[in-house]
Amino acid sequence: MQIVRNSFAALLVCVALPTLAQDAGVGEELFRVHCATCHGLDAAGQGPMAGVLLVPPANLTALQADNDGVFPTERIVQRIDGRDPLVSHGSPMPVYGFFFEGDDTAIKAPSGQPILTSKPIVDLLAYLQSVQVQ
């Protein structure tokens, strides 16, 4: 019973947390510093390291188009924070983990489900959403 109460309390905290404003400008800077080497400045997967990687970097501008027009918020958060590791990165993504840690922030997935993540990841999401092509 205690576990149920604790889980319910955690859910209430997540739902009650305000969603912080996403800052695509900050996200773009984070992307440029930490991601563009592989994914390219345009996020299309053709960064300077792309040619030497065994697994080509993803075209991050097509995330929404490749997911039936819905930006895959949950999947992207889990890739960045390491809950859904990628073998191609050699370790859980990102290798810069401590740069993306911070105060927990609640955001909503397209399904309405709250996701607990950090402010830097929220900003990266805002930037990635801003570069999506149809």
**Mean per-residue pLDDT over the chain, rounded:** 80
Q: Quote the pLDDT of residue 15.
A: 39
| Phi–psi pair at 114, nearest 5 degrees | -70, 145
Tens digits of per-residue pLDDT, 78-130? 888 877 776 665 555 555 566 777 778 889 998 899 999 999 999 999 999 99
Handedness of CA 42, 44, 46, 49 (dihedral sign): positive
Asked if residue 123 lies in contact with residue 26, where contact means CB atoms within 8 angstroms, the answer is: yes
Domain ranges of the chain: 19-130
48: exposed, middle or buried (Cβ count in 10 Å: 0-12, 13-18, 19+): exposed
**Comparison of pLDDT for 73 and 54, the residue scoring more:** 73
The model's pTM is 0.76
Alpha-carbon distances of 61 from 40, 58, 106, 123, 134, rounded to whole Å:
11, 9, 24, 16, 9
Query: 19-130 belongs to which CATH class?
Result: mainly alpha
